[in-house]
Each structure stands twice: as structure tokens, then as C-alpha cells.
Structure 1
Amino acid sequence: MAMEPLRGRSAELGRLLEAMRAADQGAASLTVVSGEPGIGKSALVHAAVEQAERHGFLVATAAAHQTDNISPLSSLAPALRASKDPLIGTEHFLELAALNTQPLWLAERLADLIGQRLAGTSALVVLDDAQWSDPLTGFVLRVLISRLAETQVMWLLATRPSPGGVTDQIVDALGDQLPVHHIQLTPLDSEAVLQIAADRLNQPVDAALTVRLGSAQGVPFLVEQVVAGLYLADGSAEGPLPDGLVEGVRRRVAGTTELCRSLLRTAAVFGSEFRLSDVAALMGEGVARLAEPLDEAIRAGLLADSGAHLTFRHELLRAAVLADVPPSAQRALHSAIADQLLLTEQGASAAAPHILATAAVGDLASISTLRVAARDLLTTMSITAMSVIQETFELTPADHPLRGEVGADVVEILLVARQYDAAQAFANDLLGGTPLYQGPVTPELTARVRLLLAPQEWAVGALDAARLTVAGAPQPLADRLSAYRVLADAAEPFETEDPVAAAVLQLAHAEQAAAEGRFADAAAAYAAARGQRASASAVNAPGSEVGTPPAVRVELAELFCLAQAGEPITALRRVTEGLPGDSWLAPQLAALRAQLELAVGNLPAASEAAKASLRWSAEFHDPSAEPTARQVLALVALLQGDLAAARKVPDEPVRALLAMADGDTTAAERLLATPLDHPIRLELLLHAATHLPGTGQAAADLLADHAPAGAQLVAAANKRDLIAVAQAVEHLRSSQRPLLVAAAEELHGRVELEHGDRSTGIAALERALDSYTQLGATAFAVPVQAVLQAAGVRRRRWSAVQARPESGWEALTPMERKVALLVADGHTNRSAAEELVLSASTVGTHLRNVFSKLDVNSRVQLTRLVLQRFASPPNA
């Protein structure tokens, strides 16, 4: 059936078509269409969809509903699956369900899948009524639009004005990553109004109707309802629900059977979308008996049947029907709906909105159900769970003993929802004798709330020993608080049988060992803390885990210490092979990976991981990992010779290296103060000993505990013991830190050259130069090259100072070449990631760089180029 012509919106449609043409040419963009209910947003969206389909675009559409906030990704899912040419295959879509509790991993996986699907394809992705999007959809869209900024996609969101809502959050998160267009719809002029009416009537508009149409005030939806008789001209169009619409719908409904009227009123309380079986059960009628009343409602222009669900044709029509349902009847229906949902598989979370619509303060049965609902929602819809538990708290009388328990639930759920400041503030009010809670603040309640907060306070370095003493707390909780006081360095270790307290004490031991530079001991203690934590988690008693240290954060600390103890490759392998994943800690995980990649000399991967950490930090509004990520970026930039970029980060060792690059050789002494937890501290100490006479003994002393062979090398160099120097270098060659080995070769070569063994010295310096060059450490390579040139060494090409081309095959980094060859050999991003021990997202980033440098825009073109360069695409 042909669409009705779009009247009065030619300029707006033209802007959409312009964005669509740009997408077809490779310029992705986001367009936000906003306006009040009934102003014609959906009609404009439908016109854009029709045009996109005519031009061969892949089109994916969805519309959010008011009830979406109880089901993760429910708003976006239809756009992924329900189209003629789905964005996501069935197998992959089912796989995504397991990631609902890990929003970033879900979004990244979706970005990979959709990116593969859209390679070289122009697409339009639409979400109507975006203001009702579930929280997970809002987050995933922020990530997807950002990640797919280089694809041929036009994103289109239609929304009611909602300051600070989903669309505003998406636009704010995108920054300047791609163009964002705003289209604000305003009332139509009189000519467009008359054209819409004539279209609906299929004949010219008479004078009487022309007068009545004036009351619609240019709102397209009301124009259509005037024509349909559902809006009366004598009513006001002002306010959220026009009086004329209520009266018009009332008259239309009055002409239907009693069973139809009952169906409509019951459905209006259910919501804008509902199942006929639910309404039938609530009405006590068989579904077959409602077939005729349903047909009446559809013919009356009020309901639409999509097959799986029934919907009101417009939210304003539902509101108009609901306006004729007395408040007492609405409350009774909400209560009955809640009871019915609790008896079905939909459960407490689906019933929660209806319970909240009717529950009164002190309704203990409702409070109990809502606490269950909040728990049910917590794993997948933490933002909704947070709203439910906060409203539950308000329903609990201020002086009731249950108020404290619900208050503790609020703190816990706020923490899970990553609302740390709000959780701390609420806890202070709850325990501080404010009007928020007038019941007794028992030692058990105080201890429990303090233990809920303690793990996060440890993670951000904000443990306050003064808050960790609660007189009269039950023994297990008291032991845990005491253990956290040990962790805060305010008490001495003690013996305990409580597994949570034991885990915290092991954590305290690990922190102390790390602070003293005993990294092997620290790594072992962190591992022991994780083991104790697992014992605590195995206990299923209520409250058995309160205060348990966060497992992933503990493991991150363990792996960093493992790397500092001389096993960075081992630590990196554990990260890449699947560290237990909490996607909320993605910024910290990426920052650790950046440090580990730097330690093993993989500078491009270190930079990429650091940039990912910064990107995810911005998406989660969590700046805690930013200093580490920026430090790695500065170090990589400096090593690669980009001194301008390195100067942007106030890292003291970087400043010392920059001073050395500027000719201040004495700055090498400042490297001796490199902190114990610096990712390349050992390399910098050896660098200092190499480039500034007189620092050797100090450097040797500092290296002794963490790199004995390095200490022996420096000491031997100071004594000019050439045999010992060579032996120490040989020992260091087994190190997992290639930059350290290269630095050792450099020191060896310089010492040998100074003492007249030109052959041995030049060979060692050339090994150092080759290593630095292969690693991309231009800043360290250039001085070695200068020494060799001064010694009369001639090469056809000194690669250390060669700039990488900006385009073509030679512009690709070694990892980009591997990705290109694997993709040309038929690998997907995922299989290539498995082959290279990378994430699929990282492979996608490399592939986009390959496309850009080789000036191709599809895998087919890449394969052709590789075939032209090689007889057949070799395996990487």
C-alpha cells in the first residue's frame, strides 16, 4: 500500500535526504528529530525509511516503548533482527544475551558484528520514540555510533524533548566524532493542514471542516483525529492532553459494545503495548470472546495489531482513553495487573511499575515484592533497579525497622549501578541520624553499610580508618572491618576464620609488599586474596559476601606486580586469554594492558590500549585510569620520537628523557628517582647508567632487587670488567622485556668500544640499534646510530631515522600487515583476533587503519590488493 504523502515537511525531509546521500558516500552522521507528541516525528521518519529503501540502503528500524526499561536492549533489538535483511544473524543475536550484564563488551561485540555486516554497505538505522529507550540501549547506541563513525551509516533518532535524556547523552558522548544534525519540528501551516485532511478524505475539504481544522493548531496528529472524528473542534488543544481529543475519543468509544469499552480501558492501564492474553486473563474472558471487541477497537482507529502485541495507535489516544478511567479503578486495575504478572513468568520486575502506581507508604507486601524486583533487575538493568529500590525506600515508614534494611539495599544497588558518590551520600544520611531514617541505627546496620562501601573506597584509595570501627558489630562483620583497618594501615594483622576478612588481610599484605617493591611477594599475596575471596563467595548465607574485595581489581593488581617481577609476557597472556571480565572495569583493564604491552616492547599495541582506556573512561565517566593511560601514551610518543606529544603529560621520567633529548645529559640522574611502579622503570635505570657517568653505582643498587642481571651489568661496566659485562648481557637476553635487553646491548657496546674492542662493541651496538628500530623506539635508537656513525660504521640505510610513509603497503605497521594478510586469507575479525591473541575490537581498529592507508573500503578490495602484491595471500 502506498504511503500517504508527507505534507509541510519538505525542508526537513530534504535535510534527511542530504544526510542520507552523505552516508552513501561514506560520511556517517547522526540526525535527531525532536518535537512534541503528535507533531509528525514518526511520519517524517517513515518517509525517510521509504526513501532509503528506494535508494538501496539497508534499513533497520525500531521504536521504543514506555515499558522498555525493565528489559535490556528491548528498544534496539527489533532494529537488529526484525528487518528484511537483519543486521545480526540469529546465532550471533542469541550469543549477545550472555553479555547483557556486561554493557561495554556487549556494545563492542555489536560494533564488531555490525561493522562486518555493513562493510561497503550504505545503511539507515532508526530508533523512534527514543525518549523511552531502555538504559542499555542508550549506552549501546553511544558506543555503536562512535565505533562505526567510519562506516556508511546514517543514524536517525526521533524523540520528544527530554533535556538530559537518552538523545542528549548520546550527542554529548559523541563530541566531534561525526556530524550531528538537529531537526526541530514545529506546527504546520494552514496549507499543509488542508492537504493532510484532503489526503485522508480523498476529496477537497469543505468550509465547515476547514473551520474545525483550525482547532488542531497545526499539529498533524490532531488534524487526522479531527478528520476521523476523534478530536472535537470545540475542545482546547493546549496542555499535554487536548480536551477535544478526550471528548472525541469518549464519543467514539461510547458507540462500541461494553466489552470493547472494557477491553480499551483495561489495556490503557496496561500501557501503550500489551498482549491480548494478559488483558483477557485480567478481564476473566477467553481470548476468543475478545476477538470481536478487538476488531471494534481497531476499526474505531484506537488500536493496532502487530501480531505479537497490540498497541494504541498513538500514546495520546491511550491517554485519552485512560482519562475516562476513574483513579480508583486505575488503582484497582494496576493492583490486579501486578498480581497477575507475579503469577506468570514475567515476575516481580514486570509487576514493579504497576505496584509502584498503587502502593502506599507502609504496604509491607508491596515493599517485599519491590525488593525482589530490584534484585531481579540488578544484573541487567541496574539503572532501573536503582529507581525501583529508591522508590521502595520511600514506601517504607521512616520509623519502621525494615527501613534500615531497605536503606542498605539502596546503598548496595547504587554501588552496583556505579553511582559511588550517591551511595556514599545516602549512607551518610542513613547512618547520620538525619530525618531520612528515624529507626535505630544498630551496630549491625552500620557495619554492613560500611562494608558495602569499603571495597570501592579501597579501589579508589579513599579508605578512612575512622569509619571502620563499629562498637558492638557482630563478630564476622567486626573482623572484616578490622581487616579493612589493616588495609588502611591503621591496625596490625590478626588471625581470623572469616574468609572475607582473611581475603582483605591478604590484600593488605599484597599492598604492603608492592609498596616496598617486593613484586613477586605481592603477586603471590594478591593471588591468595583471590583464593580467599572465592571461599567467601562459596558461602550462600545472606550477607556472607558483604565487604568482599572486587575480584577483577585484585587480579589487575596481581598481574601488574607479576609484570614488575619480571614476567610481563605471562601477565599479558593472562589478560589477552580472558581475564574474568567486568566490562565496567574496561578502562582499568585497558590501562593495565597498555602498561604490559609497553613492558614487552609492543609500542603500537600499548598506544592503542591506552587510547581505548581513555575512550572507555569517557564513556563510563570514570577518570581513575586516565593518568596511567596518559603516562603510557607519553612514553610511547617519546620512544617513537614524537617529543611534542610526549610533552603533554607531566610524567617526571618523561620530562627527564625530554631534557636529555634537548641536550641536558645531567637529566639522566633524575631517572634514578623513577617510582617503583613505573612500567619501564628497569629500562630507565639502565638508560641512566648508560648515558651519565657517575650514576652507575646508584643504578646498580636500584636494579639489584628487581633485575639482578641488570645490576651485575652496570656494576661490571663501572669496573670495566668486560667479561662480566658480556656474561650479564647474556643473562638478560632471556628477559621478557625487549627494551631492557636492547638497553643492555647498548651499554655493552659502548663499554667495549671505549676499551678498544671495536668489533665486539660495534656488533653489540648494531644489535641494540636493530632492536630499538624493530620496536619503534626511535628516540633510543638515534643516539646509538650516532655512536656507530662516529665510529665509522657505514650502512646503505639507517632505518632508525626513516619516517614511515603515510600511505601504501609500507605505511602499515607490522600488526596492521598481519591483520591485512589474515583478512585477505578469509579470516573474520573474530578469527583473526584469536589467531593474533587480540580482541576483535582491536583487530577492527587495525583493519580500519589498513583500509585508510591502502585507500580501500572493503575486504574484497583488500584481498585484490594483497593478491596483486603476493602470488597468494600468505598466512600471517
Structure 2
Amino acid sequence: MSGNRNGVFRGREGERELLCGVLDAGTGVVLVDGAEGTGKTRLLNEIAAVAASRGFEVATAQDELDQPFLLARLAERRPDGPALVVLDDLHLAEPGTLAALRTLLSASAHEKVVWLLARRREGADRLFAVAAQRGATRVELRPLADDVVADLVTDLVGAAPDQDLKALASTAQGNPAALVELFDALERDGRVVVTAGQASLGDGRGPGTETLLREHVSALSGKARHLLQVASVLGPRFEPGDVAEMLASSTAILLPALDEVISAGVVTSLDDRLAFRHELLWRLVADSVPPPVRRALHREAGEMLLGRGDSAVVAAKHLLHGAQRGDARSIDGLVAAAKAVLWNAPEAAAELAVRALELTDQASASLVHRTVMAVRALTAAGRLPAAQALAQEALSRQVPPDPAAKLRHCVATTTLLGARHAESVEISEALLREPDLAPELAPWVEITRLMGLLGHDRERAGELAETVVRTRRGGPDDVLATALAVLAAIARDTGRPGAALDLAREAARCGTSHDLSAYPQLLLASLLSGLREFADADSVVRRVRSGPSAVVTRQVMTAVVQARILLQAGRIDQAAAEARAALAVAEETGHETVVAPALAVLAMVAIHTGDLPAALEHVERYRDQVPADAIIFSRAYYRWTAVLVTYVGSGLEKALPLLTPDLVASGLFAEEPRAAGWFVRRALEAGDEGLAKAVVDRVERLAEEHPGFGAVTAAAVHARGLLDSDAALLDLAARQHHDLWARANAAEDLGVLLTAAPDRAESVRALENALGLYREIGASRDSARVLGRLRKLGRRRRAAPARPASGWSSLDDTERAIANLVAKGQTNRQISTQLFMSPHTVNFHLRKIFRKLEISSRVELVMRSRDDQ
């Protein structure tokens, strides 16, 4: 084999450059972490050589036994010139050595000494922590990326590898030493052939990758091979005790076979268990077990775990592979696992429950109960059409009363989430009339009826909710919480924001386990956001999102509420992303009740970013759904959005008839305070002083009745300032408003009013203030309108510099934040927690990032991030 044998050091250019920079500074502490074989010692040796060539005095311990003697020598004298101290394998150092080293680091803090300290990820924790707190530079040698591995293989074999060689190289998991060891073995066996500039495993007549590794395993003794086959059924990592139990043996008796497979390099020892050294080895061994035997072993493994009380979820992974039709114990294990993960992993629960149902004989007495479990799991996973179809198919047969009631309730739930409220109410009320309805099911049927009535018949919903509140006062109670939330929604829609907020707060306190939507908490967050109490609203949503539940209904409803909070707070890009993500999930899963709220947010975003066709399309799509909605947002909010879109698209003449007295009298000005100023502005523009006065009277009365609602008070000041042409009030409103939108509106209104003054400097100042706020929000249409006003006053302002279409500089702040977190190795769920958005929204932004950077994977994003930053 030809090629660069020093290629092991590929992929460490950044680390070398960083360490050379520390040498340039002549002082500092560098902490190097790296697993065995990642090139840590090689890196230290190379930097030591560089330092020596620059005139550094280099002090290096030969091994861990030499470390205390080196430290003693350093303590006795100080270097005359620049010095580099290299200490490797500090994870093996004695406590006394580490204590002496901490002392020396402190003593030499102001000397021209560079300390290069290395360990294998663990050990010397206190030393590394203290050094890091004092500003030490951290270097972690991570596994090599796939493209670097390919380059390294090219170095080792002297030609570009084909796909088979790349697959073999991937089993080294980015560890350069393991990669070199593997290709050394190939070289000794004469396996690599270079033809026409490409390296491959032989010319087609020799053994391929799988044959090579299979031969390696075949060379083991029979006992060792049998041990590996059983272990492979348990997974790529396994407990020796589990293998012993399945072999009806003991770990002590298996020690010789375990020692053999470890010595052969097939299995390696981790901290808590054993593992196949490479995934390919694991798969080859697993494939060597005949399928019938493999199924039987999986079944035995699952039953073993169930029998001793281990996790039902872990057992279910085996039972999924091993369970057969009619195997009651294994199928029961699948059902138990589905129940265990129903709330925090509903997709897995659905897979387990549906598989259990598939394996159940049609004549089995357990069929209907397993059907109920499958329907519940499918509902939690957001697969509403499948859940409803399965439930209705089961109900078409003869079903005992108790499971039939559960299935009917599942149908009521899916129809409710599908915005078929009347149908949901009909099913729920029929269930509640049954005398033998199970006590544990009755509360959930009552909750479903309350929510269905809220979307179908407000008067009956209020009457029923009041009855529940009168009769169920006491401790935490989900039915009570839902009834209070229903009354809060009605109070919101009838213009009683104080009562709505009080009821919603009480509802949020009363809820316990109603996990499908967390509606009381989300309603509270929505009310708080309407009143511009953004910190409190964020806190409520954060509590909902931080819970263990991953039920899709809960997630998608939370996302759409979060979208409007972001919109009202002026974070328009994030609002659009969150709403699009919610809409996509809602349409995919059949959550029609979320479609209209998501479209309303997107319509508002589109109108402020100048995309009138999109705004019109969104309003047209939700128009037919609104009468059956008004659960998440009020009907007034949808009407306000439609009014705004109509005004922009068709002008004042078409929009004015939509500003009806009942809309003015609704709770809109507490749900969207900035609408008050807009209404007055349009009424005055049309010369309808009566409408303008009605709006001002309404919002002033709301402010007087609720003195603690600062956003409503500011809206009243703003509306009065417009009606009376009072510049002082408009200036006060521009300072008092709690959100950027309303503040910008008030500043613009002030600027327009002051254009009539002899000195237009104050007008220009107010309009420029408005322009800055609109640009901060990202409201391009509003920005363009204010720019036009400034031009009429003789002021020329350049448009905000447009971002380029591609490249790192094309990313907005949110996209850049997500890219940076991806570069740090965080998952979408971890990023969503940090940036307070749903995982679906993170994924939406990632797709935009990939498009702008012209990449297609997270790995490429990590590399691009490092290069560009």
C-alpha cells in the first residue's frame, strides 16, 4: 500500500492553528480533551517541535510516573526565556500530582510559560474546571468528519476510495488511529487494489468488506460466536449479565468467551456495558442468525426484561421483532410499552399499539381493548384520520359497552380536533346520557363536550360551564379547569377582559392532567399577550412546552399561540416561521381547529410585509372556518384581520362597512389594543366622526374599568389623541405603548399630525422614529409608507440595506442563532428550548439556512459555520 502514513493528522488543521496562536502569545494554558486514538499525543508532539524551533524551552513528562518529577523540577527553577510545558494523559495522574500542578499554574500566571495539558475526556476534572474558569483555552479532538475520513483513506491507500472502502472506513467512527489500524490490516492481507486511480477491495474476485469481517468473526471459537449471536439480538451495546441469562449460564462461566471476543477486537468495553466495536460487525453477526431463531431470541429477550420488571419500552423493542400472532404474553408487552410512552413518545406508542393489534387474533377477547389502545395512541400521535377510521371500524362490529364508550369518546375527540364541533357534541352528550358510563371516562367526555360547545353553541357552553363551576369547586380538577377556560373565552369575546383574565388564571391553576391541548394554559398565554404582558405570556408557554408531553395536539396548539405572541411582540420572522410550521402539521394530521388561527397570523404577517396576494389567500381560506372556530382566538380577531386585509387590498370604501358596532363593542381592543388607533384613523379618513367617537368611548371605558391594563390605557390615549388631533397625547402614546407595532403606529400618527405645523422638524423626527421601529419589526410595507411620507417632507432616507440572497450574511438573526447552535452539536429539540420555539419551527428555519448556504446537511452547516466565522 502506498500513501501518506502521516495522514492520521488530517482534519486537525484548526487545532494546530489555535495552538500555534497560543505559542505566538507566549503565555497561556491550553486544555486538550480527546478520546483514545484521536491524535491527541501526536498533536502535542508536533506543537512541542514547533515550540522548540521557535526557541522555547520544552519540558515534557515521559509518562504519568514522570509527571511529579517534572513538576518538582519546574517548581525549583524558573525558565529564563519562553517555555512550553507538555503534560499528557493527566487522566492517569495521581491526586498529589494534580494538586501540585494547580499550584504551579497559579504561580506562573504572569510568566512567559505555555502549559499544554491533555487527558482522555475524563479525569483531572477539578484541574480542568479551575483552569477553564481562569480563561484557559479548550480544545476537543472530535471524530473526523466524513469528508476528512475520505481524504485520510486516500492518504493511506494512495488513491480515492470507492463506496465499499468508504463504508468500511465509516466503521472506525471518525477515529484516525482506528482507521489506520483497520487499513494496516487490509494492507497486510493484500486486500486493497488500486485501479485507474481508485482504490477498492479487490477486483471483484476477492472477498468484499462483509466477507472480510465475517472471516474475522468466523475465526473465533464456537462458544465465542454463539455468545456474539445472542449479544447481537440485544443490540450494538449489551450487558454481559443479559447474555448470560439468555444462555442459561453465568457471567463467570462466560468469562473465557468474553475475553476472546474482546481480544479479537470484535467487542470493546465501555464504562457501563460491552459493545460491538463497529456497527457493521454487529449487523454481520446479527444477520448470521437465521430469521426464525432471531425472532425467537428477540421474544425471549423481551420476556426476560418483562419478567424481571425492566422498562416495558426496552422490552417492546424486542417484542416488535419477536412477537407472533397469538403470542399473548409478547403482545401484552407491546401494549404495556405503548401505555408507558403514550404521552412522552406518542409516535412510538402508536407503532407499538398498532403492531400489537395486527398480531391479535380476530377472535381474541383482547382485540377490542387493544383497539382502544391503538386508537388512543394514534390520536396522541396526531394521526387523527387513522384513529377515527380505526375506531369507527371497530364500532361497526359487536363491541361490549365499556370499550365501545371509550372508542366513541375517541371519535368525539378526533372530530373536535377536526373542527367538527357539532358532531363532537352530539357524540359526547349521547355518551353522558348512558347510565353505566365508566366513572374514569366521564370527566374526559365532559371536557370534550365543553370544548365542542365552545366552538358550536356559545350560549349552551356558558350555561354548562357555569353549572360545572357551581358544582365542582374544590381542588385541582380538569373538568373545572376546562369550564373556567370556556367562561374565560366567552368573557374575552364579549368585551370583559378583566373577568377573562381572572377566569383564565384560575383555570390554569386548576388543570392537572388533561394533556391533549393544555387549553386553559394556552388561553391564559393568549390573553396575557393581547394585553402585551409578554414576559408572563412567554412564561406560561414555556411551562407548557417544557413539560414531558409530546402529544401532537398540544404541540401544534402551543405553536400557533406562540406564533401570535411573537407577532404581537414584533418578532415577525419568527412568528411567520412558527405559524407555517403549525399550519403544516395541522394540515398533515387533520387538526383543522388549528388551521384558521395559523392562517390569521400568516395573513397579518403578509399584509405587513407587503405580500397582498398571500394575505388575501389566507383570509379567504379561513373565512369559512371562523364561525366554527373562535376557540383559540376570538371571532373578533379574525374579523379585524379581514378588515385590515380588505383595506389594503380594496380600499377604505370596502373596508368601512366591516367596522360594525358589534365589532367595536367586542373584546377586540383588549385582544389587539393597536386596533383601536387603526379604527379611529380609518373612521376619520372616511369622515365618520360618529364611528371614531364610538371607538374612543369604547376603549376609554375599557381603560377606566381596567386601570391595571397598561396596553389598553395606552390604546385609549392613542385613540383620543387621533380624535382630538392632540400631539401631546400621541407623543405620550408613542412612549406608553407596550409593543413595537403600536409604538410605531403612534409615532407615525404624530408625524402625520405635525406635518401641518410651520416647523416640520418634529414631524420628521416622529416619522423617522416610526420608520426605525417598523424596520426593527421587519414590516416592509409600513416602512415603505413612512418613507413616502418623509419624501413628501423633503427628507430622503435610503432603504434598509437588503441582505444578499445567499451566503452567511444572508441569514437573519434567528437563522444565525440556530446555525450557531447546530454548530455546537445541539438537536432541534434542544435548540427549540433555548430559542423558545417549536422543533417544527427550528426545522423550518434549517431548511431556509440550507437553501441560503447551498448545503444539504447539518454536517455541512457545522463545517461552513467554522469556515465563515
Is the TM value for this pair above 0.5?
A: yes
Deviation at 1:509, TM superposition (A): 1.8
Q: Distance in 1 between matches of 2:575 and 2:324?
A: 51
Question: Residue 734 of structure 1: which of 733, 736, 758 is its match?
Answer: 736
Aligned position for 1:124: 146
Deviation at 1:197, TM superposition (A): 11
The residue correspondences of 1:279-290 to structure 2 (distance < 5 A) are 279-290=243-254
Deviation at 1:427, TM superposition (A): 2.0
**Residue type of the partner of 1:433?**
S
Q: Distance in 1 between matches of 2:329 and 2:188?
A: 54
Aligned position for 1:512: 490
Equivalent pair of 2:489/2:500 in contact (CA under 8 Å): yes
Aligned position for 1:607: 573
2:420 pairs with 1:462? yes
Aligned position for 2:565: 596
Equivalent pair of 2:481/2:520 in contact (CA under 8 Å): no
Deviation at 1:728, TM superposition (A): 7.8
Q: 1:267-298: CA deviations, max 9, x gaps?
A: 46556664433222333334343344456778
The residue correspondences of 1:653-672 to structure 2 (distance < 5 A) are 664=651, 666-667=653-654, 669=656, 672=659
Q: 1:442-494: CA deviations, max 9, x gaps?
A: 1x434434445656654553332121121221456445534533432354413
Q: Distance in 2 between matches of 1:618 and 1:378?
A: 23
Aligned position for 2:685: 691
Q: Classify the secondary structure of the residue corresponding to 1:488.
A: helix
Q: 1:814 to 1:764 in 2, by over 3 A?
A: farther
How many positions carry a matched residue from both structures?
Answer: 621
Gap runs ≥5 in structure 1: 6-16, 24-48, 56-85, 92-115, 129-155, 161-195, 205-212, 231-248, 538-547, 863-876
The residue correspondences of 1:374-413 to structure 2 (distance < 5 A) are 374-378=338-342, 381-394=345-358, 396=360, 398=362, 402-413=366-377
Aligned position for 2:391: 427
Equivalent pair of 1:762/1:788 in contact (CA under 8 Å): no
**TM-score when normalising by structure 2:** 0.55
Q: 1:382 to 1:753 in 2, by over 3 A?
A: closer
Equivalent pair of 2:325/2:361 in contact (CA under 8 Å): yes
Q: 1:607-638: CA deviations, max 9, x gaps?
A: 22322442476579568666655654554454
Deviation at 1:533, TM superposition (A): 1.6
Q: 1:647 to 1:688 in 2, by over 3 A?
A: same
Aligned position for 1:45: none
Q: Classify the secondary structure of the residue corresponding to 2:146.
A: strand
2:697 pairs with 1:681? no
Q: 1:395 to 1:229 in 2, by over 3 A?
A: closer
Aligned position for 1:532: 510
Higher relative contact order (CA 8 A, sep 6+): 1
Q: Classify the secondary structure of the residue corresponding to 1:445.
A: helix
Question: Residue 220 of structure 1: which of 204, 208, 212 is its match?
Answer: 208
Q: 1:135-176: CA deviations, max 9, x gaps?
A: xxxxxxxxxxxxxxxxxxxxx99999xxxxxxxxxxxxxxxx
2:315 pairs with 1:315? no
Q: Distance in 2 between matches of 1:125 and 1:346?
A: 41
**Residue type of the partner of 2:770?**
S
Deviation at 1:785, TM superposition (A): 6.4
2:403 pairs with 1:445? yes
Q: Classify the secondary structure of the residue corresponding to 2:659.
A: helix
Equivalent pair of 1:510/1:526 in contact (CA under 8 Å): yes
The residue correspondences of 1:249-648 to structure 2 (distance < 5 A) are 259=223, 263=227, 266-267=230-231, 270=234, 274-293=238-257, 304-305=267-268, 308-309=273-274, 311=276, 313=281, 315-322=283-290, 336-342=300-306, 346-355=310-319, 365-378=329-342, 381-394=345-358, 396=360, 398=362, 402-430=366-394, 432-434=395-397, 438=398, 440-442=399-401, 444-452=402-410, 457-463=415-421, 464-468=424-428, 469-470=430-431, 471-472=434-435, 473-474=437-438, 477-478=441-442, 480-489=444-453, 491=460, 492-493=463-464, 494-495=467-468, 496-497=471-472, 499-534=477-512, 537=513, 548=514, 550=516, 552-564=518-530, 566-574=531-539, 580-581=545-546, 584=552, 588-600=557-569, 602=570, 605-615=571-581, 618=584, 621=588, 628=597, 631-632=600-601, 635-636=604-605, 638-639=607-608
Deviation at 1:89, TM superposition (A): 8.7
Q: Distance in 2 between matches of 1:859 and 1:222?
A: 36
Equivalent pair of 1:746/1:768 in contact (CA under 8 Å): yes
Equivalent pair of 1:374/1:388 in contact (CA under 8 Å): yes
Deviation at 1:389, TM superposition (A): 2.3
Task: Tell me the C-alpha RMSD between the 2 structures.
Answer: 6.3
Gap runs ≥5 in structure 2: 15-36, 44-117, 124-137, 151-162, 168-184, 194-201, 621-638, 702-712, 854-862
Q: 1:529-576: CA deviations, max 9, x gaps?
A: 322223xx4xxxxxxxxxx36464432232222333x33535554368
Q: 1:388-413: CA deviations, max 9, x gaps?
A: 22233345555555444333222222
Equivalent pair of 1:523/1:559 in contact (CA under 8 Å): no
Deviation at 1:648, TM superposition (A): 6.8
**Residue type of the partner of 2:396?**
G
Q: 1:772-810: CA deviations, max 9, x gaps?
A: 4333256446656666776xx55xx444x63335479xx
Q: Distance in 2 between matches of 1:272 and 1:772?
A: 60
Q: 1:575 to 1:706 in 2, by over 3 A?
A: farther
Deviation at 1:321, TM superposition (A): 4.2
**Residue type of the partner of 2:494?**
E
Q: Distance in 2 between matches of 1:285 and 1:277?
A: 9
Q: Distance in 2 between matches of 1:296 and 1:667?
A: 85
Q: 1:627 to 1:729 in 2, by over 3 A?
A: same
Deviation at 1:691, TM superposition (A): 3.3
2:800 pairs with 1:803? yes
Aligned position for 1:76: none
Q: Classify the secondary structure of the residue corresponding to 1:313.
A: helix
Q: 1:762 to 1:629 in 2, by over 3 A?
A: farther
Q: Distance in 1 between matches of 2:693 and 2:373?
A: 54
Equivalent pair of 2:334/2:353 in contact (CA under 8 Å): yes
Q: 1:687 to 1:361 in 2, by over 3 A?
A: same
Q: Distance in 2 between matches of 1:572 and 1:331?
A: 51
Q: 1:99-137: CA deviations, max 9, x gaps?
A: xxxxxxxxxxxxxxxxx9999999439999xxxxxxxxx
Q: Distance in 1 between matches of 2:307 and 2:516?
A: 36
**Residue type of the partner of 2:737?**
S
The residue correspondences of 1:810-829 to structure 2 (distance < 5 A) are none
Q: 1:724-761: CA deviations, max 9, x gaps?
A: x855874685332443355445556656777xx656x9
Equivalent pair of 2:505/2:524 in contact (CA under 8 Å): yes
Q: Distance in 2 between matches of 1:744 and 1:502?
A: 41
Q: Distance in 2 between matches of 1:512 and 1:459?
A: 19
Q: Distance in 2 between matches of 1:357 and 1:367?
A: 11
Equivalent pair of 2:753/2:763 in contact (CA under 8 Å): no
Deviation at 1:424, TM superposition (A): 1.9
**TM-score when normalising by structure 1:** 0.55
**Residue type of the partner of 1:773?**
G
Q: Distance in 1 between matches of 2:362 and 2:748?
A: 72
Q: Classify the secondary structure of the residue corresponding to 2:249.
A: coil
Q: Classify the secondary structure of the residue corresponding to 2:246.
A: helix
Q: Classify the secondary structure of the residue corresponding to 1:555.
A: helix
Identity, % of aligned positions: 19
